[in-house]
């Protein structure tokens, strides 16, 4: 399996403004501490860790919402970690993100079809109302939803719109950051089932950030466990969960219930 992303010696820090001296620069907090890894193409890779572990920061580096201090981020062999915005622009279509809170990531003043079609127009992927309706169909929403506003949708429906907006560009990579954490259990199962099916059918590479290890186990092919900006476990999900090599992973596994979910839990009701 070839790697879509190859990350080498990745470091990133933020200024600690709470401890800035009266004169001089603020000290810096290391968030990502020089780790290296590959993310396989065409698979779903889970990224887990406790709060403050750096998982969301790492995800934002992958889609280049953040630029690392040092190290390399290779996307299909091209170094993107330190590209300027003009050079990144042609790659943005292939690097999409589904946000945790769909209400804040969807423009409340626009109807659903316009929310989906605007990025399509920007990247030359069509962008008509019928194109938006076709994207809605892929995420299981009927054509009538194209005329609705985000506030007229349920949380699960809004998240489907966020997924439709991402896949409408036919990207190669999607970052899904805690996308079901605010949904009820039934909506979670439906959204996760949808994401898994789309990833398979479209050949997507997905990085799935979550704190829920039971979801990681059933959704992902591989898992990365972060702790204070360092990788403490990394590999196929079955191997890491069966034989965790770090105490952090063992603690996470023991602290969070891992029920034996029914085989059809991801199936649509």
Q: What is the DSSP string of 31-53?
A: EEEEEEEEEETTSEEEEE-STTS
Whether 184 maps to a domain, the answer reads yes
Whether 178 maps to a domain, the answer reads yes
Whether 58 maps to a domain, the answer reads yes
How far apart are the C-alpha atoms of 12 and 33, rounded to whole Å?
7
Whether 53 maps to a domain, the answer reads yes
Which structural domain range is residue 215 located in?
A: 3-16+26-36+43-84+97-104+173-255
- The DSSP symbol for 154 reads -
Overall domain count for the chain:
1
CATH number of the domain at 32, please. Answer: 3.40.50.300
pLDDT value of position 257:
58
pLDDT value of position 263:
58
How far apart are the C-alpha atoms of 227 and 55, rounded to whole Å?
9
Whether 90 maps to a domain, the answer reads no
- Going from the C-alpha of 40 to that of each of 5, 7, 43, 67, 222, the distances in angstroms are 7, 12, 6, 22, 9
DSSP output for 181-244: TTS-HHHHHHHHHHHHHHHHHHT-EEEEE-S-HHHHHHH-SEEEEEETTEEEEEEEHHHHHHS-
Could you list the mean pLDDT of each consecutive 10-residue stretch along the chain, which spans 269 residues?
Answer: 94 87 84 96 95 94 97 97 94 94 88 96 92 96 96 94 96 95 87 94 96 86 95 95 90 68 56
Beta carbons within 8 Å of 82's beta carbon, 6+ residues apart = 67, 68
pLDDT value of position 55:
95
Whether 231 maps to a domain, the answer reads yes
pTM: 0.89
Question: Is residue 58 within 8 Å of residue 64, measured between CB atoms?
Answer: no
pLDDT value of position 119:
94
pLDDT value of position 183:
84
Question: Is residue 224 within 8 Å of residue 245, measured between CB atoms?
Answer: no
Whether 267 maps to a domain, the answer reads no
pLDDT value of position 255:
66
How far apart are the C-alpha atoms of 17 and 19, rounded to whole Å?
5
pLDDT value of position 265:
54
Side-chain-facing half-sphere of 267: CA atoms under 13 Å:
5
Question: Is residue 184 within 8 Å of residue 151, measured between CB atoms?
Answer: no
CA end-to-end span of the chain, whole Å?
34
pLDDT value of position 266:
57
Sign of CA dihedral 98, 90, 116, 139: negative
pLDDT value of position 264:
61
Whether 110 maps to a domain, the answer reads no
How far apart are the C-alpha atoms of 143 and 132, rounded to whole Å?
9
- Kindly report the backbone phi and psi dihedral angles of residue 157, in degrees, each rounded to the nearest multiple of 5, phi listed first: -70, -40
Q: Which helix (H) or strand (E) holds 15?
A: strand 3-15
């Amino acid at each position: 399996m070839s790697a879509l992303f190859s990350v080498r010696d990745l470091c990133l820090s933020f200024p600690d403004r709470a401890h800035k001296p009266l004169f001089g620069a603020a000290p810096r907090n290391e968030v990502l501490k020089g780790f290296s890894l590959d993310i396989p193409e065409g698979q779903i890779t889970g990224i887990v860790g406790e709060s403050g572990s750096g998982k969301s920061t790492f995800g934002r580096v992958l889609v280049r919402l953040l630029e690392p201090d040092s190290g390399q981020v290779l996307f299909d062999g091209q170094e993107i970690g330190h590209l300027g915005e003009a050079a990144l622009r042609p790659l943005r279509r292939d690097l999409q993100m589904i946000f945790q809170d769909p209400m804040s990531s969807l423009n409340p003043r626009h109807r659903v079809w316009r929310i989906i079609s605007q990025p399509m127009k920007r990247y030359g992927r069509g962008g008509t109302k019928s194109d938006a309706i076709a994207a809605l169909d892929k995420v299981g929403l009927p054509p009538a939803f194209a005329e609705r506003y985000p506030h007229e949708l349920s949380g699960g429906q809004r998240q489907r719109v966020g997924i439709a907006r991402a896949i409408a560009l036919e990207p190669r990579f999607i970052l899904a950051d805690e996308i079901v954490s605010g949904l009820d259990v039934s909506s979670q199962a439906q959204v996760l089932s949808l994401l898994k099916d789309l990833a398979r059918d479209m050949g997507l590479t997905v990085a799935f950030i979550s704190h829920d290890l039971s979801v990681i186990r059933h959704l992902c092919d591989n898992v990365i466990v972060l702790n204070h900006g360092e990788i403490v476990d990394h590999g196929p999900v079955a191997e890491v969960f069966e034989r965790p090599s770090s105490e952090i992973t063992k603690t996470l596994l023991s602290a969070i219930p891992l029920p034996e979910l029914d085989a059809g839990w991801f199936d649509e009701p």
